[in-house]
Structure 1
């Protein structure tokens, strides 16, 4: 008869930050900043956990963290981190690279993150604009619904062009 032993799974200890970091910053002050920054990201439309991950990346001096570090800092499951990271990658705000010689992924934020995210938003709005213009054709541009859709399509197209030009101009300015 085979006896199976019931394995007790104990939670991993929560990362305790004590004392000042290498730059003399109080870890509680850094954590408070991360929380406030994450809340602002949430208000801008980023889901709560993705916002927390993004704030952690911005507050990390290296601009990168591993999933394990995020699990410890945010006190959530690896699956939760995976979903948040997927959201941020989809928005092109972060990128993922494999740590050399390991199976561990590292997530990065860099100087061009908001540029890429801006252009991703423009591309999404271009799809909305094209669908709205097609909808106007389907419903009839002379009908109230068609006219509304046509106006939406034109607006999104023109604003997208302006946003792309502005993003390109500021990216060139900031890289000088």
Structure 2
């Protein structure tokens, strides 16, 4: 069964589940814990009607401090890169918590975080069980979820009996693509519903708006007009850096052999996605020319002045 003590976040989840009227078994399923763990936790700390997460956490910590002997300092050998293994494990758990807050199941997040932070790029089920101190069944369920969303691959070397799990270098691109496909499915289902109910009905109108939203979102994520304009903005930036002098939109259009509308869309995208090109951005000058320049907040006024003087000063002998 899954091991490890209940954390503060677990106890808040228990309190929320009790407030929503959930049974111990359902709360245990959501936390991937045995039902007996939840029932004992609630019984020790006020029962279903009086359970308070923070009070339960402090009470449990206090009992643990009173019962356990003084810890004996055990030196921890650094790993092959000179890192403290405990700090590495703590980072993986913090990384997992961020993914939980983003909506991923807790165990899935922990497995993904440990796979992503291992130097070997792969782990077996036994290694994951040992590192996370959970049951093989919990690992199997998490891996099945990650395989479904195409974030993990299951492999076996020739002649080997044990399987291992790998995160590819393009894992986030795969996840993005999978998400784009799901958005397209949402759009298709909503658009079909809009036709079924009729656009002149409240339900049909609502579904039509939903379909339009997810269709646009899927298009943008799959490399639609918005994504292409953002890529064009990078090309404009490269063109201005290469030219080394301010150019008008018409000059850019002629030099790149692009329609003027494409240049205008790319310039607009450059303003929208300035964070993406940071620390270099495209700036419009008073005479309607454009130039590549450092993002204003990257350099102070005094730094700009000093750099300008340095650029025009004769080279040191």
> Structure 1 length normalisation: TM-score?
0.82
Tell me the secondary structure at the aligned position of residue 96 of structure 1.
strand
Looking at CA atoms only, which structure, 1 or 2, has the larger radius of gyration? Answer: 2
Question: Which one is further off, 21-30 or 103-112?
Answer: 103-112
**What's the CA shift string for 1:95-141, capped at 9, x where partnerless?**
11113322211111121111111111111111111111111111111
Residue number in structure 2 paired with 1:43: 101
Unaligned stretches of 5+ residues in structure 1: 1-16, 170-176
Tell me the secondary structure at the aligned position of residue 164 of structure 2.
strand
Unaligned stretches of 5+ residues in structure 2: 1-74, 232-317
Distance in 2 separating the partners of 1:62 and 1:74: 17
Which residue, 137, 148, 151 being the options, matches 1:90? 148
Distance in 2 separating the partners of 1:154 and 1:51: 31
Residue number in structure 2 paired with 1:125: 183
Distance in 2 separating the partners of 1:38 and 1:100: 32
Distance in 1 separating the partners of 2:177 and 2:198: 31
- Paired positions, count: 152
Q: Report if the CA contact (8 A) 2:183-2:217 is conserved.
A: no
Distance in 1 separating the partners of 2:185 and 2:217: 13
Which residue, 137, 158, 162 being the options, matches 1:100? 158
Tell me the secondary structure at the aligned position of residue 158 of structure 2.
coil
Residue number in structure 2 paired with 1:26: 84
Residue number in structure 2 paired with 1:159: 217
Within a 5 Å distance, the mapping from 1:137-176 to structure 2 comes to 137-165=195-223, 166=227
**Aligned CA-pair RMSD:** 1.6
Tell me the secondary structure at the aligned position of residue 154 of structure 1.
helix
Residue number in structure 1 paired with 2:117: 59
Distance in 1 separating the partners of 2:91 and 2:146: 20
Distance in 2 separating the partners of 1:134 and 1:161: 18
After TM superposition, the runs of 4+ consecutive aligned structure 1 residues lying more than 4 A away are none
Distance in 2 separating the partners of 1:136 and 1:48: 36
Distance in 1 separating the partners of 2:131 and 2:211: 43
